[in-house]
Each structure stands twice: as C-alpha cells, then as structure tokens.
C-alpha cells in the first residue's frame, strides 16, 4: 500500500514535470500523431498498391500505439539518471522510477484512446463490446514496453550512448512497422521479427477490422510481452546495485 502511494507520487511528479511551463501541455501529445497522419495521407495513401478501406482509422489506430511506445521509451531511458538525487537519498526500489514513467504515460495513452474512440466515429469505427478487448491489449503492450524500458534504462546508466542510439534508430523501426501502409509492402521477414508489429496488429484488428483477434495472435503477444519483461527485469536486477556508483 505504501509502495502504491510512492509510485503514484512519482507518476504525478512525472506528469507535472512534463507539462510544466508549457501552454497547451497535454494536447501536444495529439499534435505529433496528427502530423504523421497528415504525412501518411499526403504521401502513402496515394500509392496505388496501398489501397486500404477506412485509411484514416487504419493509420491512427497504429499511430496511437506507436507513439505510446515511443514516448514511454524516450521518457524513461534516462529515468534513472535524472532521478539520481532521489535514488541517492531515499531507500526505495529503483524499479519504481521506470515503472512510474510507464504509468504516467499509460494515463496519457488511455486519455488518447478515449479521444480516439470519439473522433473515429466519423471515420468508420463500429462500436460494440469488442472494443473492451483493447484493455488487455494495452496491458500487454505496456508490459512489453516496461521490459524494453528496464533493459534500456539499466544499460543507459553505464553507457549513455544507449539513450542517443535509441533515439536514432527509432525512425527506422517506425518505418519498418506497417503503420501507414499494408503489411505486404514491408518485406515479410522484417515484419515477422518486429515485435511491435504484433501489438499494432492486435489493436488494429479490434479497431479497424472490427473483429475479435485470433487466439494465435493473442498468444504471440502474450509470449512477446512476458518474454521481453523477463529479459528486461533480469538485466535490471543484475545491474541495479551498481547504479548508485555511476549516477
């Protein structure tokens, strides 16, 4: 219980810090996906072999997932370094720092999904109880993101290059994930080995195809997210006792 209020306090700090001194704060979160949506509409929707029904719904449902992932990892890759002062003065588990970053971003993500659900009314979404399946989907994706975050933030303490490198390769991952174009336009072996693809496909099946995702796809997402979490937590635990000597 005490730990829950600690994580809550840290998440709240993250949200306050992120929007401090900015005029429209939270709404900047919509600006970035919107810009990418316009790029996709202006360029990729013109490609003849890229014909998709309800194109805007297709792109946006991918974009909101991508930007959750991208924001989470970018915010939290440096979370341990930037909280050096607290880590050096209070005896609380270091895990709480990346975890609180995920939670504050998750709060944003859920608000974004709510706005998305309303706006997509005009772009062909069909409302039914099926949409509730998005909750387990978001949870799995968060677990996957937590795994990546633990891995990156732990290594980043010792090699600051990781944070820079991660920012650099992100656009590559973005374009190798079929977000604004059909899956068959990306080489199949790349799609298969892109873990993010499975989560985006899961979300898109619910939002765009208006179907219940297959058990196979759920299993794939469950395996990827738990696998990534285990790897991340293992690396983090191996290194966490030495964080304080380097930050």
Partner 1 sequence: MTKERLISFENVSVSYWQNNMGIHSIKDLVTTRRNPFQSKPILKNISFDVCKGESLGVLGRNGSGKSTLLRTIAGLVKPQEGKITIDGTFAPILAIGAGLELELSGYENMELLLSLYGKARKNTNAIQNIVDFSELSDEVLRMPAKRYSSGMLARLAFSISIANEADILIIDEVLAVGDQGFQLKCMDKIYKIKSEGKTILFVSHAPSEVLKICETAILLDNGQIVHQGSAKEICAMYEQLF
Residues that bind partner 1 in the complex, under the rule CB under 8 A: 2, 5-6, 8-10, 12-13, 16-17, 20, 84-92, 158-162, 241-242, 244-246
Work out how close the CB of 14 gets to partner 1 at its nearest, in angstroms, rounded to a whole number. 10
Work out how close the CB of 196 gets to partner 1 at its nearest, in angstroms, rounded to a whole number. 23
Q: Which one, 164 or 212, has the nearer CB to partner 1?
A: 164
For residue 198, what are the contacts with CB-CB under 8 A and spacing of at least 6?
217, 220, 221, 224
Separation CA 1–CA 91 (nearest Å): 16
Record the tokens describing residue 203, joined without a space: 């979300």
Work out how close the CB of 13 gets to partner 1 at its nearest, in angstroms, rounded to a whole number. 5
Can you list the alpha helix ranges (DSSP code H) found in the chain? 2-19, 28-42, 55-76, 79-82, 84-89, 96-119, 134-158, 161-176, 188-192, 195-207, 215-239, 243-246
Work out how close the CB of 163 gets to partner 1 at its nearest, in angstroms, rounded to a whole number. 11
Q: Is 227 exposed, middle or buried (0-12, 13-18, 19+ CB in 10 A)?
A: middle
47: DSSP letter: -
Q: Which one, 5 or 49, has the nearer CB to partner 1?
A: 5
Work out how close the CB of 154 gets to partner 1 at its nearest, in angstroms, rounded to a whole number. 13
Q: Which one, 52 or 233, has the nearer CB to partner 1?
A: 233
Q: Which one, 8 or 27, has the nearer CB to partner 1?
A: 8
Q: Which one, 128 or 245, has the nearer CB to partner 1?
A: 245
Q: Which one, 89 or 128, has the nearer CB to partner 1?
A: 89
51 phi-psi bin (left φ>0, alpha ψ -120 to 50, beta other)? beta
Record the tokens describing residue 130, joined without a space: 């099926």
Work out how close the CB of 208 gets to partner 1 at its nearest, in angstroms, rounded to a whole number. 39
């Amino acid at each position: 219980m005490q730990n829950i209020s600690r994580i809550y306090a840290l998440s709240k700090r993250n949200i306050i810090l992120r929007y401090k001194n900015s005029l429209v704060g939270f709404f900047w979160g919509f600006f970035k996906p919107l810009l990418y949506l316009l790029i996709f509409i202006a360029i990729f929707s013109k490609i003849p072999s890229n014909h998709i029904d309800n194109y805007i719904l297709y792109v946006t449902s991918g974009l909101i997932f991508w930007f959750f992932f991208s924001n989470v990892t970018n915010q939290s890759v440096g979370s341990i370094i930037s909280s050096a002062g607290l880590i050096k003065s209070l005896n609380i588990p270091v895990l709480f720092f990346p975890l609180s970053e995920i939670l504050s971003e998750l709060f944003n993500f859920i608000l974004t999904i709510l706005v998305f659900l309303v706006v997509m009314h005009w772009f062909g979404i069909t409302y039914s109880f099926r949409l509730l399946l998005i909750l387990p989907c978001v949870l799995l994706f968060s677990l996957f993101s937590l795994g990546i975050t633990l891995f990156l933030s732990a290594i980043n303490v010792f090699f600051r290059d990781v944070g820079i490198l991660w920012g650099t390769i992100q656009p590559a991952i973005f374009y190798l994930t079929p977000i604004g174009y059909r899956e068959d336009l990306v080489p199949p072996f790349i799609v298969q080995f892109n873990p993010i693809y499975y989560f985006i496909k899961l979300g898109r099946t619910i939002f765009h195809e208006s179907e219940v995702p297959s058990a196979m796809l759920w299993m794939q997402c469950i395996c990827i997210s738990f696998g990534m979490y285990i790897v991340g937590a293992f690396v983090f635990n191996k290194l966490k006792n030495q964080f304080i000597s380097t930050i």
